[in-house]
Every structure is written in structure tokens, then in C-alpha cells.
């Protein structure tokens, strides 16, 4: 019980990092700003958290999702967390993803959205 609680507190650093562009005047704060980024070939993303797990949904290329996964790893490293190789995956929304005991799919939006999601649980020094 304490481990998920501590991980949830530690993940506030990830929340702050990935939500900063969504704050007022941030580069992802309005749909028009996100559309301009997309027109330039730049990705947008959304973080969804549940206790000590999270999913990052990326609207962009697989390379964009891989780069964001590395960015997430760099944010987690200084606080002693790392992404679990067993639980971290890149999948296209049209393929769906199983996380938190349910399966989600963006199949209805697959033509419009070329996103990927990265379900993950951070792993601390204990190897959890």
C-alpha cells in the first residue's frame, strides 16, 4: 500500500512536466495552438494517471512517441524511478491497449488520429 502511494507522490514531477504545455498560454493550451503544432509536424500528448500507473497518448508519429518515452524516462530518473520494460509499450490507438484491467481503443478515431499510447508503471530502486 505504501509503495503505490509513494510512487503517486513521486509522479507529481511527471505531472508537472507533461502538463506544463497545457497551462494557459502553453504551446498545447488551445486547439488552434495544437493544430499549428500539428501543421509543423510537431506532436501533442495527453497524460492520464491512475494511482502509480499512467498512459501517455501521443498525436504524432511513432518516433514522436518514442522520443516522449525517453523524455518521461529522463524526468523519472532523478527521483529514482524508471519505466518498467515489461509494462511499457507503444501501440497505435487503432490496436487498442489494455491497462488498469480494461481495454481501450481509438478505432473510431483511427483515421483522424495517428496517436500511440504508452501504458506504464514506474519501477523504483527495489525493482517493483
pTM summary value: 0.72
Mean pLDDT along residues 80-108: 68
Residue 85's pLDDT is 86
Residue 95 pLDDT level (bands cut at 50, 70, 90): confident
pLDDT bracket for residue 88 (50, 70, 90): confident
The answer to whether 64 and 57 have CB atoms below 8 angstroms apart is no
Compute the distance between CA of residue 30 and CA of residue 8 in angstroms, rounded to an integer: 28
Q: Is residue 124 over pLDDT 70?
A: no
**pLDDT tens-digit profile of 16-74?**
999 999 999 999 999 999 999 999 999 999 998 887 788 899 999 999 999 999 999 99
Amino acid at each position: 500500500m505504501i509503495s503505490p502511494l509513494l510512487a503517486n507522490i513521486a509522479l507529481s514531477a511527471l505531472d508537472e512536466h507533461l502538463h506544463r504545455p497545457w497551462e494557459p498560454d502553453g504551446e498545447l493550451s488551445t486547439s488552434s495552438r495544437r493544430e499549428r503544432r500539428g501543421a509543423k509536424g510537431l506532436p501533442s500528448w495527453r497524460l492520464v494517471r491512475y494511482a502509480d500507473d499512467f498512459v501517455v497518448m501521443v498525436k504524432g508519429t511513432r518516433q514522436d512517441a518514442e522520443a516522449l518515452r525517453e523524455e518521461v524516462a529522463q524526468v523519472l530518473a532523478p527521483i529514482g524511478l524508471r519505466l518498467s520494460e515489461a509494462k511499457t509499450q507503444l501501440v497505435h490507438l487503432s490496436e487498442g491497449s489494455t491497462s488498469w484491467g480494461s481495454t481501450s481503443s481509438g478505432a473510431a478515431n483511427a483515421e483522424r488520429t495517428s496517436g500511440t499510447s504508452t501504458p506504464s508503471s514506474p519501477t523504483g530502486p527495489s525493482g517493483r
